[in-house]
């Protein structure tokens, strides 16, 4: 519903309404940014939608696949609760020789900074 400027002023001004409760004239709904455009099952999609956008592209990214293998590898310890870069640096410091290319990938932000399960568990 279109509103005139004077109406908007009346709406936002902090003064007591003389005529009791008035409905706000602006009916601008706060839009849900995460409107699912594919699929109908909303509960399923909230799991996929993290960080504000559906990350379907991660499934097909080769770099992401490599990083997932890094996450799963038990030799570098648990992956939850740590950013990937912190985990890589810890592995480096403990002398576990993590692949050096990963540091470059993480610092150039070509892959997600958190592990694969972050936000999903």
For another protein, the binding residues (CB under 8 A) are: 74-75, 77-78, 80-83, 86, 89-90, 93-97
Structure tokens at 31: 């839009």
- As measured in angstroms, the least distance from the Cβ of 75 to another protein is 7
CA 77, CA 29: separation in Å to the nearest integer? 46
Please identify, using beta-carbon distances, which residue of 39 and 78 lies nearer to another protein: 78
Please identify, using beta-carbon distances, which residue of 59 and 117 lies nearer to another protein: 117
- As measured in angstroms, the least distance from the Cβ of 57 to another protein is 25
8 A C-beta contact, residue 82 and residue 36: no
- CB 98: neighbour CB atoms within 10 A? 18
Helix (H) or strand (E) holding 100: helix 100-107
- As measured in angstroms, the least distance from the Cβ of 17 to another protein is 35
- As measured in angstroms, the least distance from the Cβ of 117 to another protein is 11
8 A C-beta contact, residue 47 and residue 120: yes
Please identify, using beta-carbon distances, which residue of 42 and 86 lies nearer to another protein: 86
- CB 70: neighbour CB atoms within 10 A? 22
Please identify, using beta-carbon distances, which residue of 2 and 75 lies nearer to another protein: 75
């Amino acid at each position: 519903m279109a509103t005139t400027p004077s109406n908007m002023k009346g709406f936002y001004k902090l003064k007591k309404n003389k005529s009791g409760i008035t409905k706000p004239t602006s009916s601008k709904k706060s839009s849900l940014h995460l409107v699912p455009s594919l699929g109908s099952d909303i509960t399923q999609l909230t799991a996929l939608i993290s960080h504000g956008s559906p990350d379907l592209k991660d499934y097909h990214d080769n770099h992401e696949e490599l990083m997932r293998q890094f996450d799963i590898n038990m030799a570098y310890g648990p992956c939850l609760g740590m950013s990937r870069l912190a985990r890589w640096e810890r592995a480096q410091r403990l002398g576990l020789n993590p692949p050096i290319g990963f540091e470059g990938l993480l610092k150039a932000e070509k892959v997600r900074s958190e592990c694969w399960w972050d936000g999903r568990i």
